Structure 1
């Protein structure tokens, strides 16, 4: 395994800021906004409650698990109980626990390419082998592509919709096809739904809503990090069949004991705060348009309008050729040195010739970032968002 290449970029930008350099970070996959006051107050109240000062259940606070079960039921239109939920140290931990429960040493898990490197790293950490599967021109997986990479050792596929870094939302028909393929070949589906609140097309569906018969071979992963600006609180979950929950609970019990109780109380308050994700999605939709328009106004950059998520994922191949650079990493390093702007090179996502740019920042920060881009990369005009 390697260190997270995305956080490496963010860490370098953070180090420069510590030296007094005015760096704008559009690299890390997290909202710039602070956690809501309601959630913070819930954590303060929890810290004052002596009941949170002692050991708790490994599976997670029953009230939080009940609330998660209700949320997952709303997405899937299926019945879930608190017993179907395991609380984890963020969604990355949930992904690891899911793979660890399902995949033996040397067995394979299919992951999207381009795709978030954390999916492959969770597989590797759990002892499995991550097998990249090429997405189509709209960055979506298909049953046909999955079949080309399936082997007798294939145990699971990790699906993310909206995706990171691409923002691709899989339409319901495509999800049904993937579910049918998974059932035919006895393959588990691990659905990473961490960006579910940020769908700008109105087409997001949980795969279990599209294909409820997959319920016995599917794991749903979620958390409060993105929707509620709580990346540092580290609270996520998985909802799954009993054998996966039993494995995850045992692993938590033997390692971290349980997720900190104060953080779980904060997550419970977040899930009751339905307004924050709606406001964030509205803001991100506007900022998405602003950023994509600016990127498409620069010679050598072609940026599709993402369906969801919080990232633009432009093709910068022509710009690289024009400037004599060999990779997105060259461009990212140059932008950090020249424009004091941090972005993530596409190589981190198995997508050479692209960069990932986060628009989950406030308007002022994004406008300043756009001005810096225009100052160092000659504009070609106003530009218009491209659609996929």
Structure 2
């Protein structure tokens, strides 16, 4: 019997799934592993979805997505991000930001193109590069720099085959945010070396300590070479509605459209109509972000009080990435034992890249009560390790 494609064989299954599967076999589990908001979809969005179904808005839409939503996104990009994207030809509505990332890689990557990817970072970047026949080149981000991706680390890894830089701010799993100065220097590098940039801005509304979200595509010289990927899953708690969007040049969007129309045809119609209310849900988003910030503060304080654990204070998203090297366990062994012995799910840092070894990802997209209970269990677990 013939084998499946070499392209698929190059990638493995998501390491995150392994821990959720293990957790299913245990009782009295507290999960700090899932990257999904514990809040409900804002009521205005739910009501709009119901009206869409009742009004039979459940058929195919334009491949690009409904024009009303693209116009609202264009306005939001212009006002908030200072990105100018024409709604007709420079914005594409996707089935979640994950599809947007997949389309971005497949549209610009040729065989053996090198893609510079932060490490640690979101688990999909490397597999998606490989599925596009590209070569992932990891760029380490260090704890001493608050896990920010530094321009000099990017520059030293550029070769004649480099095609694109991937940016993620805020970052999953570290919660790091790139400073404006960093982004401007990265833009200079991209321009000098004629590179594309894929900018993953999915967590843009989940930013703390009055930090600034700065979009690289707002730099005029970067407009044509940047693919901005965003969506509604995290900030609006719409994970199951599968809705994202991409802003890029007309040429890139047209290329992405060719793949999108054959593989997906269009993003879910009801979700598109529901998202027309996103402008009216700013208070909901702000309220969620404020609660995340309180949870972050609790985790940061308590983790740093536990012997042999330390953590950098994340500036965004809803993750913290504590250093567990003093436990003398690998990230995977630490997470497995914590699950078995303390009934707490965290995600091993090495799943997010080799530079994540010695760390674990903790999500604070769960109740304060769960976080407090989990911290008690983690502290007891660490105490038992010392015995």
Selected match of 2:73 from 68, 74, 86 = 68
**Equivalent position of 1:161 in the other structure:** 169
Structure 2 residue 358 is matched with structure 1 residue 353? yes
Distance 2:204 2:163 in 1: 25
1:386 aligns with none
* CA distance in structure 2 between the aligned counterparts of 1:182 and 1:270, rounded to whole angstroms: 33
**Which has the higher mean CA deviation after the structures are superposed, 98-107 or 129-138?**
129-138
> Which of 59, 66, 85 is residue 64 of structure 2 equivalent to?
59
- 35-44 vs 200-209, which deviates more? 200-209
Give the Å deviation of 1:230. 1.2
Counting only pairs closer than 5 Å after superposition, residues 120-139 of structure 1 correspond to structure 2 as: 120-136=126-142, 137-138=144-145, 139=147
- Measure, in 1, the Cα distance between the counterparts of 2:22 and 2:75: 40
User: 1:330 offset after TM fit, Å?
Assistant: 0.7
2-structure distance, mates of 1:118, 1:300? 30
SS in 1 for 2:93: strand
Distance in 2 (CA, whole Å) between partners of 1:31 and 1:76 is: 23
In structure 1, the partner of 2:13 is: 3
Q: 2:367 aligns with which of 339, 362, 365?
A: 362
Distance 2:83 2:229 in 1: 15
Aligned equivalents of 1:126 and 1:70: distance in 2?
Answer: 32
1:102, distance to aligned residue in structure 2 (A): 1.0
Q: Please state whether the residue corresponding to 2:154 is helix, strand or coil.
A: helix
Mapped contact 2:184–2:216 kept (Cα < 8 A): no
Deviations 1:32-53 (A, max 9, x none): 1222222222211111122x23
Shift, 1:211, TM fit: 2.5
**Preserved contact between residue 69 and residue 80 of structure 1 (Cα < 8 Å):** yes
Gaps of 5+ in 2: 1-10
Query: Is this contact kept in 2: 1:75–1:209, CA < 8 A?
Result: no
Question: Which shifted more, 59-68 or 124-133?
Answer: 124-133
Residue segments in structure 1 that go unaligned for 5+ positions in a row: 380-388
The equivalent residue for 1:294 is 302
Once the two structures are TM-superposed, the CA of residue 64 in structure 1 deviates from its matched residue by 1.2
Corresponding residue number in structure 2 for 1:378 = 383
After superposition, the C-alpha distances for 1:124-151 in whole angstroms (9 at most, x for unaligned) are 2222221101124321122221122111
Mean Cα displacement is larger for which, 155-164 or 363-372?
363-372
Aligned residues between the structures: 369
Contact (CA 8 Å) 1:140, 1:170: kept in 2 or not?
Answer: yes
Aligned to 1:382: none
Alpha carbons 1:172, 1:210 under 8 Å: kept:
no
